[in-house]
Amino acid sequence: MEIHGRGGSIKKINDKYIYSLLSGKSFQDENFPVASFMINKKLKEFIRHFYFFARTSDDIADHEKLKPTEKLNILNYFDKCLKEKKKTDISVLNKLIITFCRHEFAQVCSRQLLVAFKLDAKKKRYKNWSELINYCKYSANPVGRYFINLTYHEKKKKINNRNIIFQGADNLCTALQIINHLQDCQKDYIYLNRVYLPMSYFNKCSIKVEILKRSKNNSKFNDLKRLVIDRVEKLLDDSKKGIDLIEVGRLKKETLIILYIAKRLCFLLKKNNPLEKKIKLSRIDLIFCFIKGIISN
């Protein structure tokens, strides 16, 4: 397929073109482990095919030089290929599509992610918490659902308490996504003019989005940050009920590790200013979260 680029140029959507749009980020740049040593080696290949598709689509949606229409053309083409299970000139799509025969849920989850990436291509503001939660329903929750479905499917186990487990996973994934929004709020605003933090919270704290350009600590921004973190911590608390019902031991421990990572990031964000520096876990923090997740029942 070909698309019209800047200045009327025509670009063919193939590996070479898509590769030129990538940020260079990988699973090692994420807040959470992408198939750590806790996960069976057989599953890692499937997880990483899914991850690299998501990473590629995200990079396109976040590209600073592509017009919204160019982004949407590419992402719509991705969606069409996934829907039709059609072989393409893009290896990251082909590798994912091959898994659809074995894992039907992979098709559903990957196409749901594209709903969010298409929003990213054109949407710059979120009015309130409900709008943000709806975005996370597509940008984050399919990842957790894919992971759970994949693990149980490969173990040939039925997912008992399915709705409660998925709700717990949704809460955890949504919380992680919003934590990431808070970590990157300045970069998203400056480079993409995109603000995920709800406009209603800016209004409640009597501040404008331009505050995100500053690096100095500000009491009103701290109020906004606190509002967001309080809601995120509630999501994390609510996720525990579903996580506790996961019956695959390694999956449960991996999920608990991610839960403790999210809780630690909330603690660090409360204590530090994300407008001043990137808030992330230290090596000691990660080790602590891994140990806590592994020894938890």
* Total number of domains constituting the chain: 2
Quote helix, strand, coil % in the chain, to nearest 5. 70, 5, 30
Calculate the CA 282 to chain-centre distance.
21
For 210-253, write each residue's pLDDT tens digit.
999 987 778 899 999 999 999 999 999 999 999 999 999 989 99
User: What would the two tokens of residue 236 be?
Assistant: 């994390």
Looking at the structure, tell me whether residues 196 and 263 fall in a common domain. yes
Among 122, 139, 155, the domain-final residue is 122
Give yes or no: residues 146 and 111 share one domain.
Answer: no
* Domain limits for position 84: 13-122
Are residue 78 and residue 184 in the same domain, yes or no?
no
- Point out the domain boundary residue: 94, 122, 150: 122
State the pTM of this model.
0.91
- Cβ-based neighbours of 60, under 8 Å, separated by 6 or more: 18, 21, 66, 71, 74, 75, 117, 121
CA 287, CA 30: separation in Å to the nearest integer? 16
For 150-206, the pLDDT digits (tens) are 999 999 999 999 999 999 999 999 999 999 999 999 999 999 999 999 999 999 999
- Written as six digits, the tokens of 273 are 């200013």
Residue that wins the pLDDT comparison between 41 and 16: 16
Residue 184, helix vs strand vs coil: coil
How far is Cα 215 from Cα 46, in angstroms, rounded to an integer? 40
Query: Do 283 and 150 reside in the same domain of the chain?
Result: yes
Residue 296 near residue 210 (C-beta atoms within 8 A): no
